[in-house]
Amino acid sequence: MYDVIVVGARCAGSPLALLLARRGHRVLVVDRATFPSDTVSTHYIHQTGLARLRDWGLLDRLAASGVPPIRNLIMSYTGIHIEGFADPIEGITEVYSPRRTVLDSILVDAARAAGAEVLEGFTVQDVIFEDGRAAGIRGQLGDGPAQEFRGSFVVGADGRNSTIADKVGADFYRVVPASCFVYYSYFSGLDWTFQHRTGFNEQQIGTWPTNDGLNLLSLLRRREHFSAFRTDVENNFHAVYDEVVPELGEELRAKGKREENFRVMRYPDNYYRRSNGPGWALVGDAGYHKDPFTGWGITDAFVYAQLLADHLHEGLAGERPIDDAVAEYARLRDERSKSTFEFTCMISELLPLPPFFDSVLRAASQSPEYTKKFYGMIGGGIHSEEFFAPENLEKLYEEVGTPRDKRLLTAA
């Protein structure tokens, strides 16, 4: 009999298991994968996410993997160019983009070392209910016989196609249709820093260094182009780089060597899903998912796994009813993630920005101080309400000389 059974052992599940086990709870975490193993991912971890790894004692292990630190970001959006970096956020002065074979293994090993029982290669087929409450899971290890495990609480950390969410009947309550698809692969021979450039014609490229001396190169295009794009991925991939940033496209053709197959993401819609119920909860992409454009998937998984761990501990320790504690977790997650969700949904359209946002970001690109604030907002150190506060924008517009008819403060 476990205190908590966690289904899914990647960026949400293993941290949750780690934090609960360190508090003395008996935890089982299962995953259909065996580690190390890869998964489709942005790889990117914001400063806020790295602060969580540091607090858990894992950041040094990640840095020791050889993943390069990134301390300068180049982002452009339809003619707006912003280059710089945030001030330290919770003491973190860089970001990383590790391979998931590296990151997920660190997390799984840490959960096991903390005392959680980790069962790899286990496929969950159903949730066991008793008296209307989730009370365990049923599944099988490899091709073996069916097995059951019982627990006081069941958590689905099993991603966008969550079996747990399906079996408990978790409904969607906010859905914003996805706009794009992504192709990416790993290239050697390129000494590129972080580049995130959105050109005209509804296309975007991104590149950042990762483990083993490789750069991850990605592109986004709107979904209506998917069928045509997939007919010749290699040439179409290069054509987008040639068009968005010609000098990068030229260097890619001259020096870059693709080392692995292309990965494709036709990700689902942006959504919030009911994430708590009698004896169960959802965390990570199982309950809340947004476009990978802003790279917040891993960081949000860390942040809200910690939030759920705190609330589960309150319930397991008898400080208040566990279902009430977990209901508050879901409410706080929605409240705290709202601005990131809305900003991501807007910018991932790859369409011209609304006039208000266009005027703000153009002004921010001309101010070194506000550029830091922009990246502070992107990295989780400054709330969007502070960044877009009218009194702050008025000072920004005065600094860079934005004409009054372009300020659009009333739109704030």
DSSP 43-82: --B-HHHHHHHHHTT-HHHHHTTTPPPB--EEEEETTEEE
Tokens representing residue 330 in the block: 């879901």
Region 171-192 average pLDDT: 95
pLDDT tier at 312, thresholds 50, 70, 90: very high
CA torsion, ordered 322, 323, 324, 327, to nearest 10 deg: 120
Q: Average pLDDT in the 167-173 region?
A: 97
Mean residue pLDDT across the chain: 95
The stretches of 278-380 forming alpha helices (DSSP H) are 297-316, 322-347, 355-365, 368-378
Q: How confident is the model at residue 411, as a pLDDT? A: 52
Identify the pLDDT of residue 409.
63
Dump pLDDT digits (tens) for 2-31.
Answer: 999 999 999 999 999 999 999 999 999 999
pLDDT at 17: 98
Question: Does the structure show a pLDDT above 80 at 371?
Answer: yes
Q: What's the angle, vertex CA 44, arms to CA 40 and CA 49, rounded to 5?
A: 120
The residues pairing with 147 across neighbouring beta strands, listed in sequence order, are 139
Element (H, E) at 10: none
- The two three-digit tokens of residue 199, written as one number: 């050109």
pLDDT above 80 for 154: yes
Listed residue (202, 132, 134) closest to 349, CA to CA: 202
Cα–Cα distances (Å) from 100 to 108, 157, 298, in that order, read: 12, 16, 10
Sign of CA dihedral 406, 407, 410, 412: positive
What is the CB neighbour count within 10 angstroms for residue 291?
25
Q: What are the phi and psi torsion angles at 37 (to 5°)? A: -150, 155
Give the pair of three-digit tokens for residue 96. 């990383």
Percent of the chain having pLDDT more than 90?
A: 89
**What average pLDDT does range 229-258 have in this prediction?**
96
Token representation of residue 409: 């403060």
* Measured distance CA(156)–CA(324) in Å, rounded: 18
Write down the pLDDT at residue 410.
Answer: 52
Query: In angstroms, rounded to a whole number, what is the distance separating the alpha carbons of residues 120 and 8?
Result: 10
pLDDT in tens, 315-324: 999 999 999 9
**Helix, strand, coil fractions of the chain, as percent rounded to 5:** 40, 25, 30
**Residue 344 DSSP one-character state:** H
pLDDT category at 412 given cuts 50, 70, 90 is very low
User: In Å, what is the CA distance from 235 to each residue of 198, 241, 248, 275?
Assistant: 19, 10, 15, 42
Report the pLDDT value the prediction gives residue 202, as an integer from 0 to 100.
Answer: 86
pLDDT in tens, 77-108: 888 999 999 999 999 999 999 999 999 999 99
Would you state the pLDDT for residue 350? 87
